[in-house]
Amino acid sequence: MIDLKFLRENPEVVKQNIRNKFQDQKLPLVDEVIELDAQRRATQQQADDLKQKRNTISKQIGALMAQGKKAEAEEAKKEVAEFGDELAALDKKQAELEEEVKKRMMIIPNIIDPSVPIGKDDSENVEVQRFGEPKVPDFEIPYHTDIMEKLHGIDLDSARRVAGNGFYYLMGDIARLHSAVIAYARDFMIDRGFTYCVPPFMIRSEVVTGVMSFAEMDAMMYKIEGEDLYLIGTSEHSMIGKFIDQMIPETQLPQTLTSYSPCFRKEKGAHGIEERGVYRIHQFEKQEMIVICKPEDSMMWYDKLWKNTVDLFRSLDIPVRQLECCSGDLADLKVKSCDVEAWSPRQKKYFEVGSCSNLGDAQARRLRIRVVGEGGKYFAHTLNNTVVAPPRMLIAFLENNLNEDGSVNIPEVLRPYMGGKDKIVP
């Protein structure tokens, strides 16, 4: 959510930003907000004038009584009482106008960074750089679930019987590999100075609407029936929510946290053939990183965050690339975002394994996360990034470490988490 004062003073900037995101249907919202806000401020001024008048007359009542002018004092009291009804009506009108302004402000997209490439959708995202040499072995690489099945590491049929499509059982060494990747990612981030955290896996609706847009919420979140609670789609939600309504001393910034959680997602819509198996599922686990910082530091932290993911994947000898998200692919709260994509030797292309985002003060403004320093109070900036999400990470890991005999190499950094194993053998 952008600053109302900024919108009021820069309506054309806000409109151009909407055009840059190819959301022209939202253009009328800017003028609607300006008009409703003008009405709100006029109503507030009426109420303030009336309160001042009421206070003046109230002071006069005491003087009239002291002068023995009881009848005049009684008339003044009646006038003050009438002011009460009028003020109540004005307060109600003001609250209604504020709500209408907020509704519109919540769906007007955040101002994107000037460096963001302009494009309609993810097909126009821009490759920035590659890390590691992508290789294709001289033997055929099976689909990832076929690799897992030969290692007795996955049971999709049982999962369908128990929970339906979009779920799985991981078994044996593949299940252990899954846990090893999570544990390694945890320690990797701790070694980089982040504080480890296990957050709540459910959050209230106020936090949900504070951290994401309504469109994202509808597409992702599972609602707990009869409760004001939602299952988290990523631990970023509860980690940012940790700071709701907080006034953070500037000396305590930045807050750098890495969190583990299961994640639950509806994953609405149809997906392609490459999204079967464990690529796009309803339940998975993830290691996340978030930062709360001063506005002037957020771009520096943005670069640090995505590089953490690159470094982790490269430590496992998996080639990756950074892909800059274009304007039309940015969620409404984001200022700037990039994906980290891993190389798939089977598909001979890259696929997304993590996403890094700078949200400016949008989440902080919605959740009232403020900083107090020598210069006064201001809204913090928030950032988040995937350290690793093992279902997709497992695909990249298995394909890049598979041998022709069906065995899978375990990189040295992961062996302590696999009981010293250097290979998984069929």
Chain segment 345-355, per-residue pLDDT in tens = 999 999 999 99
pLDDT tens, 36-71? 999 999 999 998 888 887 777 666 766 667 677 777
**CB–CB of 237/207 below 8 Å?**
yes
Q: What is the pLDDT, as a whole number, of residue 268? A: 58
Q: What is the pLDDT, as a whole number, of residue 72? A: 73
Q: Please state the domain extents for the chain.
A: 4-105, 122-424
Q: What is the pLDDT, as a whole number, of residue 401? A: 96
Q: What is the pLDDT, as a whole number, of residue 80? A: 66
The single-letter DSSP state of residue 233 is S
pLDDT over 70 (residue 269): no
What CA–CA distance (Å, rounded) separates 165 from 199? 27
Q: What is the pLDDT, as a whole number, of residue 58? A: 67
Beta strand segments in 265-335, E? 283-293, 320-324
pLDDT tens, 210-267? 998 877 887 889 999 999 999 999 999 999 999 999 999 999 999 999 999 999 998 7
Local confidence band at 273 (pLDDT 50, 70, 90 cut-offs): very low
CB neighbours of 338 closer than 8 A, spacing ≥ 6? 128, 306, 322, 323, 324, 325, 355, 356
pLDDT over 70 (residue 277): yes
CB neighbours of 358 closer than 8 A, spacing ≥ 6? 113, 298, 299, 301, 302, 334, 335, 336, 337, 381, 383
pLDDT tens, 113-171? 999 999 999 999 999 999 999 999 999 999 999 999 999 999 999 999 999 888 999 99
- Residue 289, helix vs strand vs coil: strand
In the CATH hierarchy, which fold is given to the domain comprising 4-105?
Helix Hairpins (1.10.287)
CB neighbours of 272 closer than 8 A, spacing ≥ 6? none
pLDDT tens, 369-424? 999 999 899 999 999 999 999 889 999 999 999 999 999 999 999 999 999 999 99
- Residue 80, helix vs strand vs coil: helix
Local confidence band at 275 (pLDDT 50, 70, 90 cut-offs): low
Q: What is the pLDDT, as a whole number, of residue 1? A: 82
CB neighbours of 329 closer than 8 A, spacing ≥ 6? 119, 121, 122, 124, 125, 337
CB neighbours of 29 closer than 8 A, spacing ≥ 6? 104, 107, 108
Q: What is the pLDDT, as a whole number, of residue 276? A: 66
What CA–CA distance (Å, rounded) separates 60 from 76? 8
Run of H or E residues at 103: helix 70-105
Beta strand segments in 217-282, E? 222-223, 230-231, 247-249, 255-264
* Section 7-11 average pLDDT: 96
Q: Which CATH class is domain 122-424?
A: alpha beta
pLDDT tens, 306-341? 999 999 999 999 999 999 999 999 999 999 999 999
